[in-house]
Chain A
Amino acid sequence: MSAPVLSIRNLNIDYIGAEANFRAVKDVSFDIAPGEFFGLAGESGCGKSTIAFAVSRLHRPPALIRTGSEILVDGRDVLELDKDALRRFRWREVAMVFQSAMNSLNPVLTIEAQFYDVLHTHKGMSREAARERAAELLKLVDIPPDRLAAYPHQCSGGMRQRIVIAICLALNPKLLIMDEPTTALDVVVQREILQRIDVLRKRLGFAVLFITHDLGLMVQVSDRIGIMLEGELVEVNDAQTIYRSPQHDYTKRLWASMPKLHGDQIRPEAGA
């Protein structure tokens, strides 16, 4: 395996309370290789989204990433970056698709403006250059360029999701984090989006950190999978192993709790 694009070491994250603190992430370590599709699964509240937010350092008080944690992106510790370096790092190296497609676009700005602010901030592009680039990006996700003038509410949920992905690709990031990106969408759109991400990943070469509670879906798309339980990473293995011979008790129980119907339909991808 070549040098990992994301390397998390001894990550501890607390939510500080008035009386007691709650440890949401407990001493988690794992790596993601360049171009790899890595899945992180677990019940809601197990800390998987907390990890995703920590990678771009998006947390707000009272969350606290404890000293001693390391988040290395391309060998550089994100936790050591100062304000300006952090701003330059965000989106250029790690882009992110958030939980609800409906709400991750700013309702009062046009689609074009939401491309432009990324391209202008990071690349200093002019409006015209940004418009051209945005049109190219939209083409990647099969959206006609005339949508640039639209506002988010004029687009369907699936379309908004694809627009967000296009914005994510604007700066050719090394890592794309998807935090339960498909929960609000119906199954057909969900599958279509994941397939599209997979195609784009192979074409553009970024790695994916995919977070969901839907283990069945995850096994179909991921190369490797980590299973989280109450803030701890209890098992990391390639998707096949997680599916065929889970090691940890909790992983077995997760499989047992999946509806049978769903289990039968799973056709795991052969390793990418």
Chain B
Amino acid sequence: MAFLLRRLAFYLAAFLAAATVNFFLPRLMPGDPIQIMFASAGSELSLENLNALKLTFGFIDAPLHEQYIAYIKSVFTGDLGRSIKYFPLPVTELLGRALVWTLGLVGIATLISFAVGTILGVMAAWRRGTLFDSAVSLVAIFSSSVPAIVVSLILLFVFGYTLRWFPNGYAANPLLDPGFNWTYISSVLYHGTLPMLTLVIVLTGGFAVTMRNNMINLLGEDYIVMGRAKGLADNRVMLFYAARNALLPTVSSLAIAMGTVLGGSLIVEVVFNYPGLGNTLYQAILARDYPVIQGQLLIMTGAMLVSNFVVDLSYVLLDPRLKKA
């Protein structure tokens, strides 16, 4: 419990740091920070609306530290301002809608690639030096070296434009009404295949290598030799003695990998015109819609911290040494 509380406190500090970056960025740029921040608004926003926005971002007639407190207060009360491009849509609402798609994409892709990569890594380590091992290593090198942007563009070209097996964009057929029915869900799955596949290709190799190396480092441990000496079936030793222990460091590397996953999803969404955070952000960048761009960092950081916390939780469940102590 103490372990989890410590992690929570740390995540709070990390979130504060991301908000601090947001606060100082416009103020560090040469020129008038208010001008920079709301440049894209032009003269379209009424003075009243503009003043409300200024207040949210801490642009008040007060010393810097009071401005900071004002901004942090809005962030922690869930007020991330309003999109300038889609005024008066609140940033949280705009990003919240997009977040659902991104989380679905990222969550499922991470689960698939973690499962597949881990199993491949376990088997490669267990059959170390065989053809299978070399094949896994080779595939892993390819998978972990080719960036998401390249994989997604090639998949889009081959399966989207040339073979026309999969659609080139959107989360679902735009003519369908969203609903909890098979027609809509199958359309979502169909549209999600290529973005998902990109992330799985990019992530699986890394998990496989991590798991393989962790396993190999463990194979000489006495408890694994003892498992074999006990006459247990090969699979039992491989899974419950070796893999089960090698999983611990692999799970903690998953926490760091989440950054790559979220970054990868940004790109994939832009390439496949998928309505998640990445695409929303891309539109915001093109329109220099800074409240949305800043809100995106906070939402992404929040997503990262939540997934890190989930990793912490599963770590506690997986390692009996952390439960009581």
Binding site for B on A (CB under 8 A): 53, 56, 58, 60-61, 86-92, 95-96, 98-100, 103-110, 117-118, 121-122, 151, 153-154, 164, 167
State A99–B241 Cα separation when bound (angstroms).
18
List of B residues within 8 angstroms of A56 by Cβ: 229
For the complex formed, measure the closest distance between the CB of A35 and the CB atoms of chain B, giving whole angstroms.
21
Supposing A108-B245, A151-B320 touch, asked if A87 and B240 sit within 8 A by C-beta, the answer is no
For A110, list chain B residues within 8 Å (CB): 320
Q: Which of B231, B318, B324 contacts A89 (CB 8 A)?
A: B231
Contact present for B225 and A118 (CB under 8 Å) = no
Contact (Cβ within 8 A) A106 B227: yes
Instruction: Kindly identify which residue among B223, B226, B320 contacts A96, using a CB–CB cutoff of 8 Å.
Output: B226
Known contacts A61-B129, A153-B321; A104 and B232 CB within 8 A of each other: no
Chain B positions near chain A (C-beta within 8 angstroms): 129, 219, 221-223, 225-233, 236, 240-241, 244-245, 318-321, 324
**In the bound complex, do residue A151 and residue B321 qualify as a contact, i.e. CB atoms below 8 Å apart?**
yes
> Given A60, A117, A118, A153, which contacts B320 in the complex, CB threshold below 8 Å?
A153
A121 near B232 (CB under 8 angstroms)? yes
CA distance A137 to B163 in the complex (A): 66
Please determine whether B231 and A106 come into contact, CB atoms closer than 8 angstroms.
Answer: no
When distances are taken between beta carbons in the complex, the residues of chain B under 8 Å from A53 are 225
Question: How distant is A101 from chain B, measured CB to nearest CB, in Å?
Answer: 9
Cross-chain pairs A/B with CB under 8 angstroms, 28 sampled? A53-B225, A60-B219, A87-B233, A91-B229, A91-B230, A98-B226, A99-B222, A104-B226, A105-B226, A106-B223, A106-B226, A106-B227, A106-B244, A106-B245, A108-B244, A108-B318, A108-B319, A108-B320, A109-B240, A117-B232, A117-B236, A117-B240, A118-B232, A121-B232, A151-B320, A153-B321, A154-B324, A164-B226
Shortest Cβ distance from B223 into A: residue: A106
Taking a contact as CB atoms under 8 Å apart, the answer to whether B225 and A106 are in contact is no
B229 contacts A105, C-beta separation under 8 Å:
no
Among B228, B319, B324, point to the contact of A90 (Cβ < 8 A).
Answer: B228
Query: In chain A, what residue has the closest Cβ to B245?
Result: A108
Q: How many Å from the CB of A74 to the closest CB on chain B? A: 16
Complex contacts, B319 vs chain A, CB 8 Å: 108
A261 to B324, CA, bound (A): 44
| Residues of B contacting A95 in the complex (Cβ-Cβ under 8 angstroms) | 229
Given contacts A56-B229, A153-B321, A164-B226, 12 further A-B contacts (CB under 8 A): A53-B225, A58-B225, A58-B228, A88-B231, A90-B229, A96-B229, A104-B222, A104-B225, A107-B320, A108-B244, A121-B230, A121-B233
In whole Å, how far is A184's beta carbon from the nearest beta carbon of chain B?
Answer: 11
- Return A80 CB to nearest CB of chain B, in Å: 17
Partner of B231, one of A90, A100, A104, A107: A90
- Quote the shortest CB–CB distance from A117 to chain B (angstroms): 6
Given the complex of chains A and B, what is the CA–CA distance between A88 and B232 in angstroms?
Answer: 9
**How many Å from the CB of A112 to the closest CB on chain B?**
13
| Complex partner residue of A105 from B129, B223, B228, CB under 8 angstroms | B223
Assuming the contacts A108-B318, A153-B320, asked whether A122 and B231 have C-beta atoms less than 8 A apart, the reply is yes
CA distance A159 to B222 in the complex (A): 17
Q: How far is the CA of A227 from the CA of B228 in the complex (A)?
A: 28
Contact present for A98 and B225 (CB under 8 Å): yes
In whole angstroms, how far apart are the Cα atoms of A95 and B230 in the complex? 7
A121 to B244, CA, bound (A): 19
- For the complex, give the distance between the alpha carbons of A100 and B221 in Å: 10
Q: Is the CB of A117 within 8 A of B226?
A: no
Q: In the assembled complex, how far is the CB of residue A118 from the closest CB belonging to chain B, in whole angstroms?
A: 5
By a CB distance below 8 angstroms, the chain A residues around B225 are 53, 58, 98, 104
Nearest residue in B to A93 (C-beta to C-beta)? Answer: B231
Residues of A within 8 A of B129 (CB): 61
Interface centre among B230, B233, B320, B321 (most CB of A within 10 A): B230
Which partner residue on chain B sits nearest A113 by CB separation? B240
Given A98-B222, A108-B245; A91-B231 close (CB under 8 Å): yes
**B229 engages A107 (CB within 8 Å):** no
Cα distance A216–B245 when bound, in Å? 38
Considering the chains assembled together, what is the distance between the CA atoms of A102 and B219 in angstroms? 16
Neighbour of A107 across the interface among B223, B228, B236, B324, CB < 8 A: B223
Minimum C-beta distance from B127 to chain A (A)? 11
Q: Which residues of the other chain, A, contact B324 by a CB distance below 8 angstroms?
A: 154
Q: How far is the CB of A99 from chain B (nearest CB, A)?
A: 6
B259 CB to closest chain A CB, in angstroms?
28
State in angstroms the CA–CA spacing of A167 and B231 once bound together.
Answer: 12
Asked, given contacts A90-B230, A118-B230, whether A100 binds B321 with beta carbons under 8 Å apart, the answer is no
Task: Report the bound CA distance from A223 to B318 in whole Å.
Answer: 46
Question: Smallest distance from the beta carbon of B277 to chain A beta carbons, Å?
Answer: 37
Q: How far is the CA of A104 from the CA of B320 in the complex (A)?
A: 16
Q: Which residues of A contact B321 (CB under 8 A)?
A: 107, 151, 153
Bound Cα distance A95, B241 (Å): 18
* Distance (whole angstroms) from the CB of A50 to the closest CB of chain B: 13
